[in-house]
Chains A and B, each alone.
Chain A
Amino acid sequence: MENSIEVNGLRKTFGHKSAIKDVSFAVKQGEIFGLLGPSGAGKTTMIKLLTGELVKTAGEIQVQGMPPSKFQTAAFKAQIGILSDNSALYERLTVYDNLKLFCRLYNEPVSRIDEMLIQVNMQEEKKKIVAKLSKGMKQRILLAKALIHRPKLVFLDEPTSALDPGNTAQIHRVLQTLNEAGTTIFLNTHDMEEATVLCDRVAFLHHGSLQELDTPENLRYRYSTHAFHVETFSGNKLVIENNEGGAEEIAKLMKHGCIKSMHTDNPTLGQIFLKVTGKELV
């Protein structure tokens, strides 16, 4: 099985509203796949379709080699982990008691709790009541909960939205370590930096349709004007074409030692998204 997820001609409608329109893509085993799109694009709907929380209207889905008819089985659930956008913990219970419940539901030894707390760097909060934790800490516990049964494929729905940089970095570190160990990650985000840092490949989702799918590097190359952005010591900012005329111009500037900095046009994923869809990512 080369692909962890395969989707073909997938459609989902809610009444008259089309949330996912004829989408096809595949996620390879072991990659971090990012689904980028603004609010309402259909990202959450996509995860719900891939995890059996919603039933597709049309098309084909295979996740970990299984069709949707198997999505409610224990065999399927043992293979996937989900950190959804509004998951919650039992606020009155301790961190330990929360994780213990899921250890037992997934038939994992309770020793797994300490392992997970170390991974998300929350050992000190083990005996704390969840209600007393910060939002970022709760999110890290939710991540520990999603990973407690060593899933092969993990779905994350905007795992760092509204978190401070410290917590975001912690979560990114956990995800990278996890991925290095071979776990496939499906990440929903509207944070282009997150996608650039983490993802092997990204797909743009806009109004329920897939617009682009490639590695961040390829996309940035493809949507680059390939021009050079030059800043001179006198404070001039020039955009110089990548051609013969441009070469002469740059040579002249270099001869006179005017160049303070120079780089190729390298659009961010956010700028590319705007170019492709005409809409801001956030």
Chain B
Amino acid sequence: MNVQRIQAIFEKDMKDFMKNTMMFFTPLLPVILAVFYSRLGEGEEMPLMMIYLIVGVTYSAVTSGTMMMLMAEENEKKTLRGLMLSPASFLDIIIGKSLAATLLTVVSLVVSLLIMGIAPLLNAQAIMGLVLLFFFFLFLGIGIGLFVKTVGITTAYLMPIMFLFGFTPMVTFLGFAEDSLTMKIAGAFPLPQLIEMDETHSWLSIGVVALWMLAAALFAFICFKKVKQNE
């Protein structure tokens, strides 16, 4: 690991991102949704679920999405080989890109939450949950980014991630019975855990989200090993 190389890759990715019209739209998506939601419920208190929905959209689209796309594009455009032949290690490359995805996520999330009302999330437990959740989505993005070969394919992976993990709270609108298996499973997903934590203040929820994060980290690690092996 080398700080200068990580920084070089981070800056290159940020510059490249700014000039990529397709990707540039991604961090704006949660902001636009936030404006839309806050107009919708003008004057009323913003439901916590809506706030977490914005978090879910930001993390899935901006964190996982850009991470995957940044990695897939290096593969597709054959620029990855140049990086790999340089003294930069694979880890340098991944960390540099992760930093770019992190910066974009933070900006997008903070702006969206300021629009929605950030107050309900300003406590240590919620912030911890948000950080763990962020790494969950980041690792998912890294893992998938390691094996996708084209930017086009990333959409196919991004969709299920968005619906499963980004929009999980929406399952309540699908009309399943409160004690059905689907609802129980959905309840164990990271986003519903964090919403529930707001009432229960239970550290168990943090534990569950941490487990999800560890699972995602393991997934990314396995993908990393697989890619190294195939070289």
Contact = CB atoms under 8 A, between A and B. Distances in A.
The answer to whether A binds B is yes
Interface of A: 51, 53, 74, 77-78, 82, 84, 86-93, 97, 100-102, 104-107, 145
Given A53-B85, A78-B87, A89-B79, A107 B12 contact: no
A87 B87 contact: no
Interface string B202-231: 000000000000000000000000000001
Interface in B70-92: 77-79, 81-88
Interface residues of B, number: 22
Interface string B79-121: 1011111111000000000000000000000000000000000
A90 B12 contact: yes
B12 A93 contact: yes
B20 interface: yes
Interface string B130-155: 00000000000000000000000000
A87 B33 CA distance: 40
Contacts of A90: 12, 16, 77, 79
Contacts of A106: 86-87
B78 A105 contact: no
A97 B77 contact: no
Contacts of A82: 85
Contact of A104 (B4, B79, B82): B4
B220 to A, nearest CB: 21
Given A77-B87, A82-B85, A104-B5, 16 more contacts: A51-B85, A53-B231, A77-B85, A77-B86, A78-B87, A86-B81, A88-B77, A88-B82, A90-B77, A92-B20, A97-B12, A97-B15, A101-B9, A102-B82, A104-B7, A105-B5
Contact of B12 (A53, A91, A101): A101
Contact of B87 (A53, A74, A86, A88): A74
A51 B81 CA distance: 12
A88 B79 contact: yes
A140 to B, nearest CB: 15
16 contacts: A53-B81, A53-B84, A53-B231, A87-B81, A88-B77, A88-B78, A88-B79, A88-B82, A92-B19, A93-B15, A97-B12, A104-B5, A104-B8, A105-B5, A105-B87, A105-B88
Contacts of B86: 77, 102, 105-106
